[in-house]
Structure 1
Amino acid sequence: MTAGVSLNIFLILLVIVILTFTIFIWIRNYILQKVEKLTAERLELALRVKEKAHRIQAQYDSDSIVYTHQGPKKKSRKYQKVTVLFADIQGFTRIVEQLNPEVLIDELDQLFFYFDSVAEEYGIEKIKTIGDAYMCAGGLPIKNSTNPVEVVLAALEMQRFMKAMRRVKVIEHKDYWELRIGIHTGPVISGMVGRKKISFDIWGDTVNTASRMESSGMAGEINVSGTTWQLVKEFFISEYRGKMPIKYKGETDMYFIKGIIPELSVDGLGQEPNELFRIKLQHIRFADVEEAVLNRLENELSKDLSYHNMKHTIDVVTQVEIIGRGEGINDEEMLLIKTAALFHDLGFLISYKNHEDFSIELAEEILQMYGYSEDQIEEIKGLINVTRKDAKPRNHLEAILKDADLDYLGRPDFIPVSQNLYEEIQKFNGKMTLKEWNKRQINFITHHKYYTKTARNLRQVNKEQQLKALKELLKVQ
Structure 2
Amino acid sequence: MKNASLLDPIEAFVSAQLSACGDELIYHNLNHTLSVVQNASRLADHYRLTDPDRFVVIAASWFHDLGYVNGDPAGHEQRGALIFREFANRLVIEGDLIERVTNCILATTLPQKPTDLLESIVCDADLYHFGTIEFAEKDLLMLEETSRRLKTDIPAGSWLSGSAKLLRSHQFCTPYCQDRLAAQKHENLRQLEARIQAAFEADQ
TM-score by length of 1: 0.40
**Higher Rg of the two aligned structures:** 1
Other-structure match for 2:62:
342
Structure 2 distance, partners of 1:417, 1:427, is 15
Structure 1 distance, partners of 2:67, 2:166, is 24
In the TM superposition, what is the alpha-carbon distance from 1:457 to its structure 2 partner? 2.5
Please tell me whether the aligned partners of residues 289 and 370 of structure 1 are also in contact (alpha carbons under 8 angstroms): no
Partner of residue 326 from structure 1, selected from 46, 49, 55: 46
In the TM superposition, what is the alpha-carbon distance from 1:417 to its structure 2 partner? 0.6
Please tell me whether the aligned partners of residues 301 and 348 of structure 1 are also in contact (alpha carbons under 8 angstroms): no
In the TM superposition, what is the alpha-carbon distance from 1:409 to its structure 2 partner? 0.7
Match status 1:409 vs 2:130: yes
Structure 1 distance, partners of 2:13, 2:103, is 22
Structure 1 distance, partners of 2:133, 2:35, is 14
Q: Which has the higher helix share?
A: 2
Other-structure match for 1:444:
166
Match status 1:365 vs 2:83: no
Other-structure match for 1:309:
29
Structure 2 distance, partners of 1:470, 1:464, is 10
In the TM superposition, what is the alpha-carbon distance from 1:374 to its structure 2 partner? 5.5
Please tell me whether the aligned partners of residues 3 and 51 of structure 2 are also in contact (alpha carbons under 8 angstroms): no
Superposed CA deviations along residues 422-477 of structure 1, whole A, max 9, x for unmatched, are 11122224653111111111111112111111112331111111111111212221
Structure 1 distance, partners of 2:44, 2:6, is 19
Other-structure match for 1:379:
100
Other-structure match for 2:18:
297
The alpha-carbon distance between structure 1 residues 348 and 374, as it changes in their structure 2 partners (threshold 3 A), is farther
In the TM superposition, what is the alpha-carbon distance from 1:364 to its structure 2 partner? 0.6
Other-structure match for 1:355:
76
Other-structure match for 1:100:
none
Please tell me whether the aligned partners of residues 52 and 97 of structure 2 are also in contact (alpha carbons under 8 angstroms): no
Alignment of 1:249-288 (within 5 A): 281-288=2-9
Structure 1 distance, partners of 2:108, 2:129, is 14
Other-structure match for 2:187:
465
Question: Where does structure 1 differ by over 4 angstroms across 4 or more consecutive aligned residues?
Answer: none
Alignment of 1:149-228 (within 5 A): none
Structure 2 distance, partners of 1:369, 1:425, is 34
Please tell me whether the aligned partners of residues 27 and 138 of structure 2 are also in contact (alpha carbons under 8 angstroms): yes
Structure 2 distance, partners of 1:302, 1:426, is 17
Please tell me whether the aligned partners of residues 319 and 407 of structure 1 are also in contact (alpha carbons under 8 angstroms): yes
What is the one-letter code of the residue matched to 2:183? V
Query: What CA RMSD, in Å, does the superposition of the two structures yield over aligned residues?
Result: 1.6
Superposed CA deviations along residues 51-70 of structure 1, whole A, max 9, x for unmatched, are xxxxxxxxxxxxxxxxxxxx
Greater RCO between the two (CA within 8 Å, min separation 6)?
2
Superposed CA deviations along residues 9-53 of structure 1, whole A, max 9, x for unmatched, are xxxxxxxxxxxxxxxxxxxxxxxxxxxxxxxxxxxxxxxxxxxxx
**Matched length:** 197
Alignment of 1:62-211 (within 5 A): none
Please tell me whether the aligned partners of residues 143 and 159 of structure 2 are also in contact (alpha carbons under 8 angstroms): yes
| Secondary structure in structure 1 of the residue aligned to 2:142 | helix
